[in-house]
Amino acid sequence: MLTRGDQTLRTALLRGLNGRCPSCGQGALFRAYLKPVDECAVCHEALGHIRADDGPAWLTILIIGHLVVPLVLLVQPHLDWPDWIAFVFWSILALSLVLLLLPRSKGLFIAAIWKTKGPGSELT
């Protein structure tokens, strides 16, 4: 069985980013969209106690805001769309990017907390 010292922080973060167990890289990190598994099905590493709290949402908003807002400011003045179409288009784009990025950023935070041996829960 692997332990926290068997891989680098980079490896653990990449595994979390891909939605895999930060310990073995084979088991799934989530059982639903954002619900982490209690333990890895492959290596049985306990992961359910780790709470990422607001970190993934903060990171997602930071990244999406820095992508979408400049894009809107660069492209929108050159488009002749009615306001309601522009609003719907940019909202759908931002929402789609958030739904794509949020589980990845949560996996990243869970892997970072796991690898750095952070407490991860209010119980410790």
pLDDT tens across the length of the chain (124 residues) = 445 557 799 999 999 999 999 999 999 999 999 999 999 999 999 998 999 999 999 999 999 999 999 999 999 999 999 999 999 999 999 999 999 999 999 999 999 999 998 887 665 5
At 50 the pLDDT is: 93
Burial class (CB in 10 A: 0-12, 13-18, 19+), 19: middle
At 7 the pLDDT is: 79
Contact 30, 37 (CB under 8 A): yes
Cα 85 from Cα 116, distance rounded (Å): 46
At 4 the pLDDT is: 54
At 2 the pLDDT is: 45
Contact 110, 22 (CB under 8 A): yes
Q: Is the pTM of this model over 0.85?
A: yes
Cα 47 from Cα 66, distance rounded (Å): 31
Segments making up each domain of the chain, as ranges: 4-115
Identify the CA nearest to 22 among candidates 112, 85, 111: 111
